A and B are shown apart, each in its own frame.
Chain A
Amino acid sequence: QKEVEQDPGPLSVPEGAIVSLNCTYSNSAFQYFMWYRQYSRKGPELLMYTYSSGNKEDGRFTAQVDKSSKYISLFIRDSQPSDSATYLCAMSPPSGGSNYKLTFGKGTLLTVNP
């Protein structure tokens, strides 16, 4: 079983739709949960991060973590064509020692149609 599972999509939605992206994981040691966005022919860039469980909101984006279910989500409200990209979830254990490595999901390709 892979440590992080993410549905690769592709996901195509109309402009203005609410988008839900999800990842599941198996390593209970993960404490930091991140979402990266990768535009075509670019490197990933950090979109949001959450420590442990709970929700975090930033504008149109909301990240949720449910550690009991080992499940994380990213919601995009009022999606825009500029949101079209691949979204990768990433996770890491607590800091310290050699624990600075991120484990990534496969990424979900999202297209928002005008």
Chain B
Amino acid sequence: EADIYQTPRYLVIGTGKKITLECSQTMGHDKMYWYQQDPGMELHLIHYSYGVNSTEKGDLSSESTVSRIRTEHFPLTLESARPSHTSQYLCASSAGQFEAFFGQGTRLTVV
């Protein structure tokens, strides 16, 4: 079992609210990622980090922001949630080239 945790698992929230999705890993990995996954669609990379104070936008444009102040923590924030943000968000970490460990995901619904 991978030591990467996401909270909350499920979130239903109203339009315009600010939300933060938490992701923590205890493996000491320097690389961390946020993916967005919709049913029947690919995992799309929205943010990644190769270390503390290093963050980059991924291939899919996203209105969310991330921070990496500590190695083990990589939260994702939406300042003003909209229904178009409804999706599953997956956090992952890795030490190398290919073995990314994923969290259980946060299923976000914006009403």
Residues of chain A having any CB pair with chain B under 8 Å: 2, 4, 8, 32, 34, 41-46, 49, 88, 90, 92, 94-95, 98, 100-107
Interface residues on B, range: 20 to 34
A94 and B96 alpha carbons, distance in the complex (Å)? 11
A8 contacts B40, CB within 8 Å?
yes
A106 contacts B50, CB within 8 Å?
no
B104 contacts A43, CB within 8 Å?
yes
- Give the interface SS of chain A, mostly helix, strand, loop or mixed: loop
Question: A43-B90, A43-B103, A103-B59 provided; 10 other pairs, C-beta below 8 A?
Answer: A8-B40, A43-B92, A44-B102, A45-B2, A45-B101, A46-B101, A95-B96, A98-B56, A100-B48, A102-B45
A4 contacts B104, CB within 8 Å?
no
A4 contacts B42, CB within 8 Å?
yes
Q: Which chain B residues in 84-105 approach chain A with CB under 8 Å? A: 90, 92, 94, 96-105
Which of B50, B94, B97, B105 meets A43, CB within 8 Å? B105
Return 20 A-B CB contacts under 8 Å, by A number: A4-B42, A32-B97, A43-B2, A43-B92, A43-B103, A44-B43, A45-B2, A45-B102, A46-B101, A90-B98, A95-B97, A98-B56, A100-B31, A100-B94, A101-B45, A101-B48, A101-B58, A104-B42, A104-B43, A106-B40
A97 and B27 alpha carbons, distance in the complex (Å)? 22
A107 and B96 alpha carbons, distance in the complex (Å)? 23
Smallest CB separation, A110 vs chain B (Å): 14
Contacts of A88 in B (CB 8 A): 43
B41 at interface, CB cutoff 8 A: yes
Of B40, B94, B96, B98, chain A has the most CB atoms within 10 Å of the CB of: B98
Contacts of B41 in A (CB 8 A): 106
